[in-house]
Amino acid sequence: MANILIADDSITMRKTLNTILTESGFTVVAEAGSGYEACIGFDKHLPDLVILDINMPFINGIEALRAILSKHPYAKIIMVSSEGNSSLISHALNMGAKDYIIKPFSVQALVNTISKIIQRDEFVSNDSLKGIYNKINVL
């Protein structure tokens, strides 16, 4: 399954997410308590997916999203926040976040969202490889 980095300033939320994800078959490769730590953790571990809280100290989630995607444009990032502000959601998605989950969320909704993003990217990658293979065989 996917390797995941959890970034949230609440240690309780990080531990809860770690338990949920581990019990659901995912591997948590790192935890971060700030946007700055999330950026460093991403560079170090290159996770398959990041769960990134918006409201964090030093560098907030939006700034961390921008920083990670500037270096790793294909990074898969799910934004998480207790704020359901539609302009904030739209901004994060337009910047390149793959999805946005509002706290509190159900375990099943979180797991489904992660699985959907991982599977969607695997499907796209497989289709891309088939297209490349077909072009090579035509030559």
- Rounded to an integer, what distance in angstroms lies between the CA atom of residue 40 and that of residue 37? 5
103: three-class secondary structure by DSSP: coil
Q: Which of 98, 12, 9, 10 is nearest to 58 (CA)?
A: 9
Q: Which domain holds residue 126?
A: 3-138
The structural domain count of the chain equals: 1
- Rounded to an integer, what distance in angstroms lies between the CA atom of residue 109 and that of residue 125? 24
Q: Is the peptide bond before 104 cis (omega within 30 degrees of 0)?
A: yes
- Rounded to an integer, what distance in angstroms lies between the CA atom of residue 2 and that of residue 5? 10
CATH code: domain of residue 62: 3.40.50.2300
- Which residues neighbour 29 within 8 Å (Cβ) at sequence distance 6 or greater? 3, 4, 5, 45, 47
49-53 and 77-81 strand pairing:
parallel
Output the tens digit of pLDDT for each of the chain's 139 residues: 799 999 999 999 999 999 999 999 999 999 999 999 999 999 999 999 999 999 998 899 999 999 999 999 999 999 998 887 788 888 999 999 999 999 889 999 999 999 999 987 544 444 444 444 444 444 4
